[in-house]
């Protein structure tokens, strides 16, 4: 099965700034597929707080230029919601900024190393990336103030998308930057995290009762995205249970499955990786336990017709 057809506007120039609350902006990069993430920034009197960087040098430079078009104040703080490179590879371009993240982000970012496309993704011009891990880390939660506005950076409390996911929650605005705990229009991806943990994360996010959500990928939305992601996670969990009982491999279970209501989500091959994670949990693996990621990615390529996964970053 081939990957979902890409949106025609995946170029860097298709990205746009959207004010989601007074002096708070989302930077949305269509189409939100592999390595094309959202970021955001909050503008205060003395400087800017950024939520995440981008995957490539050129995309991060375009993001910084978009900030510069709104304000001439410097980016003083950069928050990483998790370690994945689409949210962290551009860190090094935020010179002078304090980089803040959960304890696990630093270690995981360094373990992942510099960007690479082959053999799993189509080739990408990453630019001259330098790894720049966070150097101010926290265990559970830290509050960042933008002038007098408290913004809570919260570890979600469990492996979910990764083992180190955090959100930026702004209670006074009912505004949530979810990182990759939520995808809007794209297939969630749990290979390095946990299906059961992601379901607990969904409950945590639902309890916040946000009005506006900037997801890690896809358009700005409301709380309805929490229900859609939860439904997909239950779908994967149930499919894994039935496939495991039938003696099917994760790849075979995915191939025999009608995606139904999730057919239109981008990057459907992620189902295979998600099933590898779900099967591990059926077999008793703890959330976030190490599994054979190379085997899962190779199966995703097989599901994708033997072709590398399409990346337009």
Rounded to whole angstroms, the Cα distance separating 175 from 168 reads: 8
Percentage of the chain modeled with pLDDT above 70: 97
Residue 9: the pLDDT is: 79
Is 6 a member of any domain? no
Domain that residue 232 falls in: 12-303
Residue 3: the pLDDT is: 41
Mean pLDDT along residues 128-140: 98
Q: pLDDT tens digit string along 14-42?
A: 999 999 999 999 999 999 999 999 999 99
Is 239 a member of any domain? yes
Please report which residue ranges of 95-223 form alpha helices under DSSP H. Answer: 103-112, 195-208
Peptide bond into 119 cis (omega under 30): yes
Rounded to whole angstroms, the Cα distance separating 181 from 138 reads: 19
Does pLDDT of 7 surpass 80?
A: no
Q: What is the pTM of this model?
A: 0.96
Q: pLDDT tens digit string along 54-74?
A: 999 999 999 999 999 999 999
Does pLDDT of 109 surpass 60?
A: yes
Does pLDDT of 238 surpass 50?
A: yes
Is 28 a member of any domain? yes
Is 100 a member of any domain? yes
Is 1 a member of any domain? no
Is 55 a member of any domain? yes
Coil, helix or strand at residue 263: coil
Q: How many domains does the chain have?
A: 1
Alpha carbons within 13 A on the beta-carbon side of 159: 20
Is 310 a member of any domain? no
Mean pLDDT along residues 260-287: 98
What is the domain-level CATH number for residue 131?
3.60.15.10
Is 237 a member of any domain? yes
């Amino acid at each position: 099965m081939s990957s979902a057809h890409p949106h025609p506007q995946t170029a860097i120039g298709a990205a746009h700034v959207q004010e989601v609350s007074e002096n708070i902006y989302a930077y949305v990069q269509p189409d939100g597929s592999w390595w094309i993430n959202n970021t955001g920034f909050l503008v205060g009197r003395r400087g800017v707080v950024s939520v995440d960087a981008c995957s490539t040098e050129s995309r991060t430079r375009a993001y910084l230029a978009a900030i510069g078009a709104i304000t001439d104040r410097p980016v003083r703080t950069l928050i990483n919601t998790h370690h994945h490179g689409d949210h962290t590879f551009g860190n090094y371009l935020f010179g002078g900024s304090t980089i803040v993240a959960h304890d696990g982000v630093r270690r995981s970012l360094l373990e992942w190393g510099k960007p690479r496309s082959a053999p799993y993704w189509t080739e990408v011009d990453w630019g001259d990336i330098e790894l720049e891990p966070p150097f101010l880390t926290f265990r559970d939660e830290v509050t960042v103030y933008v002038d007098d506005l408290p913004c809570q950076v919260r570890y979600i409390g469990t492996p979910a998308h990764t083992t180190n996911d955090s959100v930026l929650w702004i209670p006074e605005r009912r505004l949530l930057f979810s990182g990759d705990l939520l995808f809007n229009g794209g297939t969630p991806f749990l290979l390095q995290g946990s299906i059961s943990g992601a379901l607990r994360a969904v409950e945590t996010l639902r309890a916040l009762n946000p009005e506006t959500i900037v997801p890690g990928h896809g358009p700005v939305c409301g709380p309805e995205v929490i229900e859609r992601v939860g439904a997909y996670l239950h779908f994967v969990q149930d499919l894994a249970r039935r496939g495991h009982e039938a003696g099917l491999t994760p790849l075979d279970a995915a191939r025999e499955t009608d995606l139904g209501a999730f057919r239109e989500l981008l990057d459907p091959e992620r189902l295979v990786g998600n099933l590898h994670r779900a099967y591990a949990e059926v077999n008793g693996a703890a959330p976030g336990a190490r599994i054979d990621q190379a085997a899962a990615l190779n199966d995703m390529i097989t599901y994708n017709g033997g072709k590398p996964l399409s990346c337009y970053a």
